[in-house]
Structure 1
Protein backbone atom coordinates (compact mmCIF):
# COMPACT_ATOMS: atom_id res chain seq x y z
CA UNK A 1 0.00 0.00 0.00
CA UNK A 2 1.38 3.35 -1.06
CA UNK A 3 0.83 6.59 0.84
CA UNK A 4 1.25 9.86 -1.04
CA UNK A 5 1.74 13.13 0.84
CA UNK A 6 0.80 16.50 -0.61
CA UNK A 7 0.20 20.03 0.62
CA UNK A 8 -3.24 21.08 1.82
CA UNK A 9 -5.59 22.79 -0.62
CA UNK A 10 -8.62 24.80 0.58
CA UNK A 11 -10.90 22.34 -1.25
CA UNK A 12 -9.72 19.70 1.27
CA UNK A 13 -11.25 21.46 4.29
CA UNK A 14 -14.58 19.62 4.39
CA UNK A 15 -12.94 16.20 3.92
CA UNK A 16 -10.34 16.92 6.61
CA UNK A 17 -13.06 17.97 9.03
CA UNK A 18 -14.85 14.70 8.30
CA UNK A 19 -11.62 12.80 9.06
CA UNK A 20 -11.18 14.80 12.30
CA UNK A 21 -14.71 13.90 13.39
CA UNK A 22 -14.48 10.24 12.34
CA UNK A 23 -11.07 9.79 14.00
CA UNK A 24 -12.45 11.13 17.27
CA UNK A 25 -15.84 9.41 17.25
CA UNK A 26 -14.69 6.03 15.92
CA UNK A 27 -10.92 5.91 16.36
CA UNK A 28 -10.68 6.85 20.05
CA UNK A 29 -13.47 4.63 21.41
CA UNK A 30 -11.01 2.64 23.52
CA UNK A 31 -9.62 5.79 25.12
CA UNK A 32 -12.46 8.27 25.63
CA UNK A 33 -16.12 7.91 26.64
CA UNK A 34 -18.97 8.78 24.28
CA UNK A 35 -19.58 11.99 26.25
CA UNK A 36 -15.90 12.96 26.00
CA UNK A 37 -15.83 12.28 22.24
CA UNK A 38 -19.01 14.31 21.75
CA UNK A 39 -17.52 17.22 23.73
CA UNK A 40 -14.29 17.05 21.69
CA UNK A 41 -16.06 17.01 18.31
CA UNK A 42 -19.63 18.15 18.98
CA UNK A 43 -20.83 18.55 15.40
CA UNK A 44 -20.47 16.61 12.19
CA UNK A 45 -20.87 19.92 10.35
CA UNK A 46 -17.66 21.77 9.58
CA UNK A 47 -17.43 25.00 11.61
CA UNK A 48 -16.84 28.24 9.72
CA UNK A 49 -13.40 28.74 11.31
CA UNK A 50 -12.03 25.33 10.21
CA UNK A 51 -10.70 26.21 6.69
CA UNK A 52 -8.88 29.31 7.96
CA UNK A 53 -7.38 27.34 10.82
CA UNK A 54 -5.90 24.77 8.42
CA UNK A 55 -4.68 27.47 6.01
CA UNK A 56 -2.71 29.21 8.77
CA UNK A 57 -0.77 26.03 9.49
CA UNK A 58 1.57 23.93 7.38
CA UNK A 59 -0.91 21.19 6.61
CA UNK A 60 -0.01 17.90 4.94
CA UNK A 61 -2.57 15.56 3.45
CA UNK A 62 -2.07 11.81 3.05
CA UNK A 63 -3.73 9.97 0.20
CA UNK A 64 -3.98 6.19 0.09
CA UNK A 65 -6.26 3.75 -1.66
CA UNK A 66 -7.75 6.52 -3.78
CA UNK A 67 -8.91 8.68 -0.87
CA UNK A 68 -7.66 11.19 1.67
CA UNK A 69 -6.59 9.00 4.58
CA UNK A 70 -5.31 11.56 7.09
CA UNK A 71 -3.63 14.87 7.75
CA UNK A 72 -1.09 16.55 10.01
CA UNK A 73 -0.62 20.27 10.71
CA UNK A 74 2.20 22.20 12.34
CA UNK A 75 3.13 25.79 12.99
CA UNK A 76 6.37 27.21 11.55
CA UNK A 77 7.68 27.23 15.13
CA UNK A 78 7.30 23.45 15.47
CA UNK A 79 4.00 22.92 17.29
CA UNK A 80 2.20 19.88 15.81
CA UNK A 81 -1.41 20.99 16.11
CA UNK A 82 -3.56 18.38 14.36
CA UNK A 83 -2.81 14.74 13.62
CA UNK A 84 -5.80 12.70 12.45
CA UNK A 85 -6.13 9.50 10.41
CA UNK A 86 -9.30 7.78 9.23
CA UNK A 87 -9.84 4.78 11.51
CA UNK A 88 -9.70 2.32 8.58
CA UNK A 89 -6.20 3.65 7.77
CA UNK A 90 -4.84 3.60 11.32
CA UNK A 91 -1.82 1.34 11.70
CA UNK A 92 -1.14 1.37 7.94
CA UNK A 93 1.76 3.87 7.71
CA UNK A 94 -0.40 6.96 7.08
CA UNK A 95 0.55 8.75 10.31
CA UNK A 96 4.19 7.76 9.79
CA UNK A 97 4.28 9.25 6.28
CA UNK A 98 2.70 12.48 7.55
CA UNK A 99 5.09 12.60 10.47
CA UNK A 100 8.13 12.05 8.24
CA UNK A 101 7.34 15.07 6.04
CA UNK A 102 6.53 17.24 9.08
CA UNK A 103 9.84 16.27 10.68
CA UNK A 104 11.74 16.87 7.44
CA UNK A 105 10.21 20.34 7.13
CA UNK A 106 11.04 21.17 10.75
CA UNK A 107 14.65 20.17 10.20
CA UNK A 108 14.71 22.25 7.00
CA UNK A 109 13.78 25.27 9.13
CA UNK A 110 16.58 24.36 11.57
CA UNK A 111 14.15 23.90 14.45
CA UNK A 112 15.66 22.39 17.56
CA UNK A 113 12.44 21.32 19.25
CA UNK A 114 8.98 20.11 18.32
CA UNK A 115 5.99 20.14 20.68
CA UNK A 116 2.43 18.84 20.71
CA UNK A 117 -0.51 18.05 22.93
CA UNK A 118 -1.19 14.37 22.30
CA UNK A 119 -4.38 12.51 23.07
CA UNK A 120 -4.38 9.11 24.76
CA UNK A 121 -4.62 7.70 21.22
CA UNK A 122 -1.72 9.73 19.79
CA UNK A 123 0.68 9.44 22.71
CA UNK A 124 2.05 5.97 21.82
CA UNK A 125 2.67 7.04 18.22
CA UNK A 126 4.70 10.08 19.25
CA UNK A 127 6.53 8.05 21.92
CA UNK A 128 7.63 5.55 19.23
CA UNK A 129 9.15 8.50 17.36
CA UNK A 130 11.28 9.41 20.38
CA UNK A 131 9.05 12.10 21.88
CA UNK A 132 8.93 12.52 25.65
CA UNK A 133 5.97 13.32 27.87
CA UNK A 134 6.61 16.66 29.54
CA UNK A 135 3.34 16.77 31.46
CA UNK A 136 0.02 14.96 31.71
CA UNK A 137 -2.86 17.42 31.50
CA UNK A 138 -6.60 17.43 32.00
CA UNK A 139 -8.42 19.84 29.69
CA UNK A 140 -12.05 20.87 29.68
CA UNK A 141 -13.90 20.45 26.40
CA UNK A 142 -17.51 21.56 26.52
CA UNK A 143 -17.89 20.46 30.15
CA UNK A 144 -16.04 17.15 29.81
CA UNK A 145 -12.58 16.44 31.21
CA UNK A 146 -10.12 14.90 28.71
CA UNK A 147 -6.67 13.58 29.48
CA UNK A 148 -3.86 14.60 27.15
CA UNK A 149 -0.08 14.91 27.20
CA UNK A 150 2.22 17.85 26.55
CA UNK A 151 5.04 16.17 24.60
CA UNK A 152 8.25 17.31 22.96
CA UNK A 153 11.05 16.13 20.75
CA UNK A 154 14.51 17.66 20.76
CA UNK A 155 16.20 17.74 17.38
CA UNK A 156 19.97 17.79 17.46
CA UNK A 157 22.22 19.68 15.06
CA UNK A 158 23.12 16.55 13.09
CA UNK A 159 19.43 16.07 12.20
CA UNK A 160 19.05 12.89 14.20
CA UNK A 161 16.33 12.45 16.78
CA UNK A 162 17.56 12.34 20.34
CA UNK A 163 15.93 9.56 22.27
Structure 2
Protein backbone atom coordinates (compact mmCIF):
# COMPACT_ATOMS: atom_id res chain seq x y z
CA UNK A 1 0.00 0.00 0.00
CA UNK A 2 1.41 3.37 -1.01
CA UNK A 3 1.77 6.33 1.33
CA UNK A 4 2.12 4.16 4.42
CA UNK A 5 4.91 5.38 6.64
CA UNK A 6 6.72 2.96 8.96
CA UNK A 7 8.52 4.29 11.99
CA UNK A 8 9.56 3.50 15.54
CA UNK A 9 6.84 4.21 18.08
CA UNK A 10 7.22 6.36 21.16
CA UNK A 11 5.32 7.33 24.30
CA UNK A 12 3.25 9.88 22.36
CA UNK A 13 1.75 7.01 20.32
CA UNK A 14 0.50 5.12 23.35
CA UNK A 15 -3.17 6.13 23.21
CA UNK A 16 -3.49 5.32 19.49
CA UNK A 17 -1.76 1.96 20.03
CA UNK A 18 -4.20 1.06 22.80
CA UNK A 19 -7.18 2.11 20.66
CA UNK A 20 -5.92 0.07 17.71
CA UNK A 21 -5.35 -2.92 19.99
CA UNK A 22 -9.02 -2.82 21.06
CA UNK A 23 -10.33 -2.20 17.53
CA UNK A 24 -8.32 -5.02 16.01
CA UNK A 25 -9.23 -7.59 18.66
CA UNK A 26 -12.90 -6.62 18.55
CA UNK A 27 -13.27 -6.59 14.77
CA UNK A 28 -10.68 -9.08 13.51
CA UNK A 29 -10.68 -11.87 16.10
CA UNK A 30 -14.42 -12.09 16.70
CA UNK A 31 -14.83 -15.14 14.46
CA UNK A 32 -12.36 -17.18 16.52
CA UNK A 33 -13.16 -16.08 20.07
CA UNK A 34 -16.33 -15.61 22.13
CA UNK A 35 -17.65 -12.22 23.22
CA UNK A 36 -16.42 -12.89 26.76
CA UNK A 37 -12.94 -13.75 25.49
CA UNK A 38 -12.83 -10.66 23.26
CA UNK A 39 -13.93 -8.43 26.12
CA UNK A 40 -11.33 -9.85 28.51
CA UNK A 41 -8.55 -9.71 25.89
CA UNK A 42 -9.34 -6.13 24.89
CA UNK A 43 -9.38 -5.10 28.55
CA UNK A 44 -5.60 -5.55 28.43
CA UNK A 45 -5.53 -2.05 26.97
CA UNK A 46 -6.28 -0.73 30.45
CA UNK A 47 -3.02 -2.02 31.96
CA UNK A 48 -1.09 1.27 31.84
CA UNK A 49 2.04 -0.20 33.43
CA UNK A 50 2.24 -2.97 30.82
CA UNK A 51 1.80 -0.51 27.94
CA UNK A 52 4.46 1.83 29.32
CA UNK A 53 6.83 -1.14 29.59
CA UNK A 54 6.08 -2.09 25.99
CA UNK A 55 6.81 1.41 24.70
CA UNK A 56 9.92 1.85 26.88
CA UNK A 57 11.48 -1.63 26.69
CA UNK A 58 10.47 -3.09 23.33
CA UNK A 59 11.08 -2.13 19.74
CA UNK A 60 7.75 -0.78 18.50
CA UNK A 61 7.31 -0.51 14.74
CA UNK A 62 4.17 1.19 13.57
CA UNK A 63 2.48 1.88 10.26
CA UNK A 64 0.84 5.25 9.70
CA UNK A 65 -1.52 6.34 6.97
CA UNK A 66 -2.82 9.91 6.88
CA UNK A 67 -1.24 10.50 10.32
CA UNK A 68 -3.25 7.64 11.84
CA UNK A 69 -1.65 4.48 13.19
CA UNK A 70 -3.09 1.56 11.21
CA UNK A 71 -0.84 -1.20 12.50
CA UNK A 72 1.96 -1.94 14.93
CA UNK A 73 4.23 -4.71 16.08
CA UNK A 74 6.66 -5.11 18.96
CA UNK A 75 9.80 -7.12 19.59
CA UNK A 76 11.04 -7.70 23.12
CA UNK A 77 14.62 -8.28 24.28
CA UNK A 78 14.23 -12.07 24.08
CA UNK A 79 13.37 -11.83 20.35
CA UNK A 80 9.70 -12.49 20.97
CA UNK A 81 7.16 -10.73 18.80
CA UNK A 82 4.96 -9.65 21.66
CA UNK A 83 2.26 -7.77 19.75
CA UNK A 84 1.27 -7.50 16.08
CA UNK A 85 -2.03 -5.81 15.25
CA UNK A 86 -3.51 -4.15 12.18
CA UNK A 87 -6.73 -2.19 11.96
CA UNK A 88 -9.65 -4.14 10.54
CA UNK A 89 -9.95 -1.42 7.88
CA UNK A 90 -6.47 -2.22 6.49
CA UNK A 91 -6.32 -6.01 6.46
CA UNK A 92 -4.76 -8.02 3.63
CA UNK A 93 -2.84 -5.04 2.25
CA UNK A 94 0.59 -6.23 3.39
CA UNK A 95 0.77 -3.94 6.45
CA UNK A 96 1.39 -6.74 8.98
CA UNK A 97 3.95 -8.34 6.69
CA UNK A 98 5.87 -5.06 6.33
CA UNK A 99 5.86 -4.56 10.09
CA UNK A 100 7.03 -8.14 10.57
CA UNK A 101 9.90 -7.74 8.07
CA UNK A 102 11.15 -4.71 9.99
CA UNK A 103 11.01 -6.58 13.30
CA UNK A 104 12.86 -9.54 11.78
CA UNK A 105 15.53 -7.25 10.30
CA UNK A 106 16.09 -5.68 13.71
CA UNK A 107 16.41 -9.14 15.30
CA UNK A 108 18.90 -10.23 12.64
CA UNK A 109 20.95 -7.08 13.23
CA UNK A 110 21.29 -8.02 16.88
CA UNK A 111 22.39 -11.53 15.86
CA UNK A 112 19.21 -13.38 16.83
CA UNK A 113 18.96 -16.93 15.52
CA UNK A 114 15.27 -17.45 16.23
CA UNK A 115 12.03 -15.51 16.65
CA UNK A 116 9.19 -16.68 18.85
CA UNK A 117 5.64 -15.46 19.36
CA UNK A 118 2.48 -16.43 21.19
CA UNK A 119 -0.25 -16.00 18.61
CA UNK A 120 -4.01 -16.11 18.48
CA UNK A 121 -6.10 -18.58 16.52
CA UNK A 122 -6.70 -15.70 14.10
CA UNK A 123 -3.01 -14.86 13.63
CA UNK A 124 -1.68 -18.42 13.38
CA UNK A 125 -2.13 -18.78 9.57
CA UNK A 126 -0.37 -15.44 9.02
CA UNK A 127 2.64 -16.49 11.08
CA UNK A 128 2.76 -19.89 9.37
CA UNK A 129 2.81 -18.11 5.99
CA UNK A 130 5.99 -16.36 7.18
CA UNK A 131 7.69 -19.67 8.00
CA UNK A 132 6.84 -20.00 11.69
CA UNK A 133 6.07 -23.46 13.03
CA UNK A 134 3.83 -24.31 15.96
CA UNK A 135 5.65 -25.43 19.08
CA UNK A 136 2.65 -25.76 21.38
CA UNK A 137 -1.03 -25.09 21.81
CA UNK A 138 -1.71 -23.20 25.03
CA UNK A 139 -4.74 -22.55 27.18
CA UNK A 140 -4.38 -19.20 28.94
CA UNK A 141 -6.65 -18.24 31.82
CA UNK A 142 -7.37 -14.61 32.67
CA UNK A 143 -9.59 -14.42 35.70
CA UNK A 144 -12.43 -16.78 34.80
CA UNK A 145 -11.93 -16.66 31.00
CA UNK A 146 -9.89 -19.25 29.08
CA UNK A 147 -8.21 -18.59 25.71
CA UNK A 148 -6.43 -20.81 23.24
CA UNK A 149 -3.26 -19.51 21.64
CA UNK A 150 -0.14 -21.00 20.08
CA UNK A 151 3.56 -20.67 20.65
CA UNK A 152 5.28 -20.43 17.28
CA UNK A 153 8.91 -20.01 16.31
CA UNK A 154 11.05 -19.39 13.27
CA UNK A 155 14.75 -19.83 12.69
CA UNK A 156 16.14 -16.72 11.05
Bucket of the pairwise TM-score, normalised by the shorter protein: over 0.9
Partner of 2:73, secondary structure, is strand
| Distance in 1, Cα, partners of 2:16 & 2:69 | 8
Q: 1:9 to 1:127 in 2, by over 3 A?
A: same
Question: For structure 2, which runs of at least 5 residues remain unmatched after alignment?
Answer: none
In the TM superposition, 1:59-138 aligns within 5 A as 59-138=60-139
Deviations 1:60-114 (A, max 9, x none): 1111244210100011321110111111111111101100100111111111011
Partner of 1:59, secondary structure, is strand
Deviations 1:24-70 (A, max 9, x none): 11111111010110111227x74321223322111111112442101
Partner of 1:102, secondary structure, is helix
Partner of 2:48, secondary structure, is coil
Partner of 1:31, secondary structure, is coil
Give yes or no for contact 2:10–2:55 (8 Å, CA) kept in 1. no
**Structure 1 stretches (4+) deviating beyond 6 angstroms?**
none
| Distance in 1, Cα, partners of 2:29 & 2:113 | 31
Partner of 2:58: 57
Q: 1:76 to 1:52 in 2, by over 3 A?
A: closer
Partner of 2:8: 7
Partner of 1:48: 48
Partner of 1:152: 153
**What RMSD in Å do the two structures reach over aligned CA positions?**
1.4
| Distance in 2, Cα, partners of 1:56 & 1:8 | 11
With the length of structure 2 as denominator, give the TM-score of the two structures.
Answer: 0.93
Query: How far has the Cα of 1:135 moved from its partner?
Result: 0.5
Question: For structure 1, which runs of at least 5 residues remain unmatched after alignment?
Answer: 156-163
